[in-house]
Amino acid sequence: MEDQILALTAELAAVKSAAQVTNTMFAEAYYYLTIPLMVLIHAGFLLYEMGATRVKNVLSSGTKNLLAFAFTIITFYLFGWWFYWALPTFPYDLASGAGYMEISGIEYASAIALPWGDSAQYMGPNMADHASGVFWGAFALFAATTASIASGALIERIQTVGFVICAIVLGSFAWVVAAAWGWHADGWLVTEFGFHDFGAAGLVHAVAGFFALGILINLGPRVGKFNADGSANHIAGHNMPLTVTGLMLIIVGFFGFLMACIILPGEGWSWYADQGTTIYGTPMTLSALAFNVCLAASGGIIGAWIITKDPFWMMSGCLAGIISVASGLDIYFGSTVIVIAMVAGMILKPCADWLEGFGIDDAVGCVTVHGTIGLFGVVMLGVLGSGAPGLGAFAPEDTVAISLFGQVVGAVVMFLLGFVPGYIVSWLVHKAGMLRIPESVQIKGLDAVKVPAQAYPESMVSPESDS
């Protein structure tokens, strides 16, 4: 009898071990899939911004998008990932990781997130936990996406080197601090104020949007954008179908972005054994995303169509619709999502026009779509989601719930984490003479001066053929 019990115990242990291996392999595959899906966001940015520029600037716009992606991935590897784990408990206890989950602080970050020394086992092919690489990859794409969001606002007059410097600060520092404070179970905005931002409306979109605003103030408008009396001229891109298609690709990639925001059932980071959670440990399912993302995209399109009838703003409204509900995708029901997204789509163009009235030349509405709508979404969750748990299963009894006050505090912090570093870094770059393209080059076209290629060479007529 004793031998039978021992044999059964061994068999159960083997089954459990096999199940754990299967679960780990599935989790790796799941998060790995989110990475190429998020790369589609960057394919969308390429199409979107190149279509939104004039023919003479097409390739220069594409070049800076590619560089933002490449430099942000590398700098996130070198130091951005470390910041995410080191900073959550600031300003309360930076070193110890005083959060109740004890997965933060300088000592913890240095043990798992530096690409050298003992922590290198988590940052390379010999890592002890093979899931670390795919988690890092998903976060690295969050970083690259954040850096690229600001790009569209700045087209046709920013220097490449100056842009790359700004992109590195945004993608590997500014948004990372926001994530550490508000998108981490030990983050002080979460533990002290109940801040909740499941889909990163504030810590990615608002930070990027207002970082772009800080740059725009120092960068100035494109040549010919404003008249002497302050009135604005519309500077049309050369290919609206390309721009609209690019925006749709961004929406496709957004599904991967939001997939990566879920902690899978049974994962080492999951707070429940039998279901997925948000990064805060509160319950979340792919079913919620399937309902809410599709409804939000549709509501945003309809809202923008009601006001503008313009395909560009309709597709921008699609993106704004998703951003407006991203903070509460784990909480909202579908009918609520439709209303919020439609309102976001309807206010989009008026808010962009209002900003332009201050002499700000945001070429693609980045500040409005990502910044204004991002903060709108964060605050709306405080209005409609107050009282919902701010943290999950293992949280202490005195955990702060989601509230309007906490969401407003978070919104203010996100605005400051975007605008302040965006303004300061771009001011320093401007003083160094590396921010703005000279007016003569803007008039001639950036591609002719900066890029050793032509976007549409078959359309160029040589002087010989004219004679």
The DSSP result for 226-292, as a single string, is B-TTSPBPP---S-HHHHHHHHHHHHHHHHHHHHTTSBPTT-TT-SSSSS-B-TTS-B--HHHHHHH
> Per the domain annotation, does 467 fall within a domain?
no
The pLDDT of residue 1 is 58
Beta bridge pairs of residue 226: 232
Check if the beta carbon of residue 146 is closer than 8 Å to that of residue 208. Answer: yes
> Per the domain annotation, does 443 fall within a domain?
yes
> Per the domain annotation, does 145 fall within a domain?
yes
The pLDDT of residue 15 is 40
The pLDDT of residue 277 is 84
Q: List, in sequence order, the alpha helices (H) in 170-239.
A: 175-182, 188-193, 207-219
Tell me the residue type at 335: S
User: Which residues of the chain register pLDDT less than 50?
Assistant: 11-22, 94-95, 97, 461-467
- Structural tokens at position 431: 């003083």
The pLDDT of residue 461 is 43
Range of the domain at 208: 24-454
The pLDDT of residue 390 is 80
Minimal CA–CA distance to 375: which of 332, 333, 339, 418?
418
The pLDDT of residue 18 is 42
Contacts of the segment 393-401: beta carbons below 8 A, 24+ positions apart: 393/271, 393/272, 393/281, 394/100, 394/101, 394/271, 394/281, 395/100, 395/281, 396/100, 399/191, 399/194, 400/191, 400/192, 400/193, 400/194, 401/194
The pLDDT of residue 392 is 74
> Per the domain annotation, does 141 fall within a domain?
yes
> Per the domain annotation, does 5 fall within a domain?
no
> Per the domain annotation, does 10 fall within a domain?
no
> Per the domain annotation, does 165 fall within a domain?
yes
The pLDDT of residue 320 is 97
Check if the beta carbon of residue 155 is closer than 8 Å to that of residue 61. Answer: yes
Query: For the chain, what is the domain count?
Result: 1
Minimal CA–CA distance to 84: which of 229, 204, 246?
204
Check if the beta carbon of residue 194 is closer than 8 Å to that of residue 401. Answer: yes
> Per the domain annotation, does 4 fall within a domain?
no
> Residue 318: which CATH number?
1.10.3430.10
